[in-house]
Amino acid sequence: MARVLRRLAQGLSVLWGSATLVFLIFSQVPDPARAIAGQNERQEAMDAFRRVHGLDLPLGQRYLRFLGELSPWGPHDTGWGLKAPSLGISYFGERPVVDALMEALPATLLLALTAMGLALSLGVSMGMALAWRGDGLVARVVIGLATLGMSAPSFFVAILVAWLFGVVWHDMTGLPPSGGWRVLDPFEGPQVAWHHLILPALTLGIRPLSVVIQLTRNAAEDVLAQSYIRTARAKGVVGWRLMRRHVLRNAMNPVLTAASGWFASMLAGAVFVEFVFGWNGMGLLMFRALEAGDLPVVMGGVMLVATVFVAVNMAVDAMYGWLDPRVRLK
């Protein structure tokens, strides 16, 4: 129980630091009321805008108000107690930021989970195969392509994939270069457009796939050099049975660590991929909000990504003991 509380305290401290940094960065932006309303707007309208969004308060009060809205404990309609955290109100349309993010989040989660599932399934399989029989030309080519995949910028890869598979080879693939995650069927209503998911998921999964291949290969080779593997071989356990029963589980710790970090970074890196493919998720929402100067939406998106990052890392920490009994959370 003490370990859980310590991990929870560490996670909350990371979130507090993220919230403070986000607030300080965006508090340096010039007057949003004048930037959004324009130079010809009446002073009374701009003053009303500042009052609604708390921009007329001193910096310290604005910071405390920002933390109070994020906190799950505070004043509500019936007094003090648990409440739903608030990320503020959008500058446009007076819409709660939480509603805008929750509307866009399912598309981004679908994209990130698909890309990570692709990276883990293919990456672990290929990494184990390379560790088992990885001394030939094929292994060198795969490692070279993995190194290239890690170094390629996501924005460049997204444009290249959209152009090649969605334009040049469209007659063969039948895949569109862009499109949202839902399409409107005239008879059945909104439907998930699975064929629109293929290219953005492939693009977003290339870099983590490359990392997982190399990590799995290196970790599996280290495990194969252990004494208990020689003992298992002496008992007649060989081939894929050896890899599956004795190597795979013991090689997963570094892969799991990398996967947790990559999943959280996917939510942030999805901005470029969603923009190129027109995927209506959280990344595209934040890009448009930043372009329009809608700072509450951008700040809320950053805090949501930070929260997911902390939650995923805490879950991974809890899984270490199951993967490797030698590991104990301290």
Give the pLDDT score at 32: 76
Give the pLDDT score at 329: 46
- Classify each residue of 107-145 as buried b or exposed e, where b means 16 or more C-beta atoms within 10 Å of its C-beta: bbbbbbebbbebbbeebbebbbbbbbebeeeebeebbee
**pLDDT band, very low/low/confident/very high, at 2 (cuts 50, 70, 90):** low
Which of the listed CATH numbers 3.40.50.2000, 1.10.3720.10, 3.40.50.300, 3.40.50.2300 matches domain 97-323? Answer: 1.10.3720.10
pLDDT in tens, 301-315: 888 888 888 888 777
- Is residue 180 a contact partner of residue 193, using CB atoms and an 8 Å limit? yes
Amino acid (one-letter) located at 196: H
Give the pLDDT score at 3: 67
The pLDDT mean for the chain works out to: 81
Mean pLDDT across 250-271: 75
Q: Which has more pLDDT, 212 or 80? A: 212
Q: Which has more pLDDT, 39 or 255? A: 255
Q: Where in the chain is the domain with CATH 1.10.3720.10?
A: 97-323
pLDDT at 138 over 60: yes
pLDDT in tens, 41-85: 677 777 888 888 888 888 888 898 888 888 887 776 676 777 778
Task: Output the pTM of the full model.
Answer: 0.79
CA dist 118 and 244 (Å) reads 19
pLDDT at 40 over 60: no
Mean pLDDT across 27-45: 72
pLDDT at 254 over 60: yes
Residue 55 half-sphere exposure toward CB, CA atoms < 13 A:
21
pLDDT at 27 over 50: yes
Q: What percent of the chain has pLDDT over 90?
A: 1
